[in-house]
Amino acid sequence: MRTPNPITLDNPFLEHIGVRLAEWHEGYSEFHLPVRAELLNRQGVLQGGVLSTLLDVACGYAGLYSPPMHEPTHGHTVSLTVNFINKASSGLVVTKGFLVQRTRTLFFARAEAWHEGTLLLASAQGSFKLTGRSR
């Protein structure tokens, strides 16, 4: 396992819902989110929008890594397809993002959201536009 980039999330929304960046290096990102009552829907399971957010972020960060002490790389989501597979109402969600391909202006990534590392909750794939440095 590589050492995570010491850069903070610097994302007020993610910090607000309690997301923690657990690992980040070239082509890979991993985020952890403890499931809390405020994140559940009327049926008592994790809100689909929260899972979508986690998958979007994992994909995005997987393609936007920049080494410590370098200018951050930025981008935005062009397209994201999410597949909801299972449900969770407690525990820890671990979301893993993987860079699939990068071009000069775009990158493609996929992600998986796991409950306690054993139950696949959702998967996603997306395309992202690079903006700023590292294009």
Enumerate the domain spans of the chain. Answer: 12-131
SS3 state at 12:
helix
pLDDT given for residue 67 in this prediction:
85
In this structure, how many other beta carbons lie within 10 angstroms of the beta carbon of residue 78?
12
Does the domain made of 12-131 have the CATH classification 3.30.559.10? no
Average of pLDDT values for 113-120?
96
Q: Is the pLDDT of residue 47 over 70?
A: yes
Instruction: Average the pLDDT over 102-110 and give the result.
Output: 96
pLDDT digits (tens, 9 = 90+) for 2-32: 444 444 677 899 999 999 999 999 999 999 9
Output the six-digit token pair for 32.
């952890």
- Mean pLDDT, residues 122-129: 98
Strand order in the sheet with 28-34: 20-25, 28-34, 92-102, 106-115, 119-131, 74-84
Q: Which residues contact 27 (CB under 8 A, 6 or more apart)?
A: 62, 63, 65, 98, 99
